[in-house]
Amino acid sequence: MQKIGVIFDLDGVIVDTAKYHFLAWKSLADELGFQFTETHNELLKGVSRVKSLEILLEIGNVTLSEREKQKILKSKNEHYLSYITKMGQEEILPGVTELLDTLDNLKIDYVLGSASKNAALILKQVNLLDRFKAIVDGNSVSRAKPDPEVFLIGAQKLQLSPENCVVFEDAIAGVEAANTANMISVGIGDKNTLSEADYNFNDLTELPSQFFQSLLVEN
C-alpha cells in the first residue's frame, strides 16, 4: 500500500453523542406513552434518523401517519440540537486529539463518514471541524449504513481506492459497511459486538503507536 487515508465515524469514535440521542428519543417516547431504555438505544447506533424512528415506533407498537412521522423527526432533532449546541472540547473522546496529531505528523489525510446530519455542527462545537479534509454525513448520502455509500464517498474525498482506506467505527452497521467497501475496519468498543472488524480496540488510547506504519509495511 503506497498511501493510506482514514475515515472516522463520529458518534462513539470522535465524541459520544449517543447519550444525547438517547435523551431526545426518550423524551419523544415519553410523549407517545411508552418506555424507551438505554438498551433500546443500542439498536439505533449508526442508524439514520428515519430508520431510528421506525425502530422506536416498533418498540412502542405505535403507528403514525407520514405527516406525524415528519413532525416527530423535526421535534427529535430540535431536542437533540438543544443538547449538542452546549457541547465543548471536553466532549472529545480519549485518544482522539493524539490520534489526529499522529495522522498529521505522518501526513495521512482523514475525513469524517457519519450518518449524522449534524456532524459539521458537532465538530465545530468541539473545535475539530477544520482538521478534517472533508465531511461526508447524512446530508451527503441517500443510503444509510450498512450500505457502504458514505465510506465510498469518503474514499473519493481522500482520492484513494477503497482498499487504501482505514475506517474507525463503533457500530456493527458501520463495520459491515467498511468491510463491504473492502476497506480496513477498526472496531472501537466491545470486541465481541464488533467481532467482524479487522482490528479491535476498546478505545483510541489502545491504538499501538506504530499502527499506521505497520499497515504500510503489511500492504
Which residues, listed in sequence order, are joined to residue 136 by a DSSP beta bridge? 113
Q: How far apart are the first and last CA of the chain?
A: 5
Gyration radius of the chain over CA positions: 17
DSSP state of 207: S
Distance CA 80, CA 210 (A): 38
Q: Is 9 a catalytic residue?
A: yes
Q: Is 11 a catalytic residue?
A: yes
CB neighbour list of residue 113: distance below 8 Å, 6 or more residues apart? 7, 8, 9, 136, 150, 151, 153, 154, 167
Residue recorded with cell 479487522? 198
- Which of 122, 184, 116 shows the shortest CA–CA distance to 150? 116
Distance CA 67, CA 6 (A): 39
- For the annotated catalytic residues, the residue numbers are 9, 11
